Amino acid sequence: MKVAPDGTHYELSGPVDAPVVLLIHGLGLNQECWQWTTPALTDSHRVLTYDLYGHGGSAAPPETPSLSLFSNQLAGLLDHCNIDRAVIGGFSLGGMIARRFAQDTPDRAQGLIILHSPHKRSGAAQDAILKRVDQAREMGPSSTVEAALKRWFTEPYRAANPAMMETVRGWVTANSKPIYHTIYRVLASGIDEIVAPDPAISCPALVITGDEDYGNGPEMTHAIAAEIQGAKAVILKGLRHMALAENPDAMNRPIRAFLDTLNGAP
């Protein structure tokens, strides 16, 4: 594991001279969630994964968490690694950060891969997530994780894969109670910054969700794609929020096809 000057823990894998893909995990997780994705990419791409501030091995947020703070963390990591441009991929909160980064520094985003990420929520959905933020503030990440696992994985998969449930549960519950809810609030309240951006994001984009991802579903994915000229939306059948872990092949195939197209592969 490498550490940047700001305390960001990161890993680089794949050919040194290959095009770069940077992957941003979601709330409460860490860069280990890309363990099912990275192997599908590293034969032809340099893959950069890292822990967001307040997650995994990285330092605590140096200021009140915001999409801009995380966008700046991303830019600083690229600078530290001497990477000018990359395809930016993000899962859930990571997809929000990816869009914020593409708005802040459009010349550095070669493309976007936005996975299971929100668009504007209904009033009821917004109230529900704000209640979870308050629950996390009062009782910590362990108070929200069991309901999250039900939202994130299909019922048959949860029943058949207790070890996966324990792994993901461990990632979430390892988060610091005083910090976790402050980042959760970014997921809840940061969406207005990245809906209908002006100027619009113009780089190539792939937007994916599962048809059973009830918090970040097909309607949101199509709405995100509609705001990025030429973006492609993909809806994975029979999968919920953490499709990247439940069915890696279903996720990796469209990601790899998108990257190959960007880099001129036949």
Residue at 48: amino acid letter: L
Mean pLDDT of 64-90: 98
Is residue 168 packed enough to be buried (19+ CB in 10 Å), middle (13-18) or exposed (0-12)?
buried
Reply yes or no on whether the pLDDT at 132 is more than 80. Answer: yes
pLDDT of residue 264: 74
- Residue 4: pLDDT over 80: yes
The average pLDDT across 36-52 equals 97
Partners of 2 in the β-ladder? 10
Residue 46 phi/psi, 5-degree rounding, is -90, 120
- What are the structure tokens assigned to 42, written together? 């590293």
Q: Cα 79 vs. chain centroid, distance in angstroms?
A: 20
Query: Taking the domains of the chain in order of start, what are their residue ranges?
Result: 2-119+191-262
Identify the CATH class of 2-119+191-262. Answer: alpha beta
Contacts of 189 (CB under 8 A, 6+ apart): 130
Q: How far apart are CA 262 and CA 260, in angstroms?
A: 5
Residue type, 121: R
* Structural tokens at position 245: 């872990």
| Residues 194-226: tens digit of each pLDDT | 999 989 999 999 999 999 999 999 999 999 999
Residues 6+ apart with CB under 8 A from 234: 206, 207, 208, 221, 254
Angle at 163 between CA 172 and CA 47, to 5 degrees: 65
d(CA 85, CA 107): 7
Question: pTM for this structure?
Answer: 0.97
The H-or-E segment that residue 83 falls in is none
Model confidence at 1, in pLDDT bands (50, 70, 90)? Answer: confident
pLDDT above 80: residue 265: no
For 216, counting Cβ atoms within 10 Å of its Cβ (0-12 exposed, 13-18 middle, 19+ buried), the class is buried
Task: Give the per-residue pLDDT at 237.
Answer: 98
What interhelical angle do 123-139 and 177-189 show, nearest 10? Answer: 170
Q: What is the pLDDT of residue 266?
A: 54
92 sits in which H/E element: none
Question: Is 103 in contact with 202 (CB distance < 8 Å)?
Answer: no
Q: How far is 145 from 48, CA to CA, in rounded Å?
A: 27
- The average confidence (pLDDT) of the chain is 96
Q: Residue 251 and residue 55: Cα distance in Å, rounded?
A: 24
Quick one: tokens of 240? 């919920």
Has residue 179 got a pLDDT over 80? yes
What is the model's pLDDT at position 19? 96
Q: Which of 66, 92, 86, 69 is nearest to 6 (CA)?
A: 69
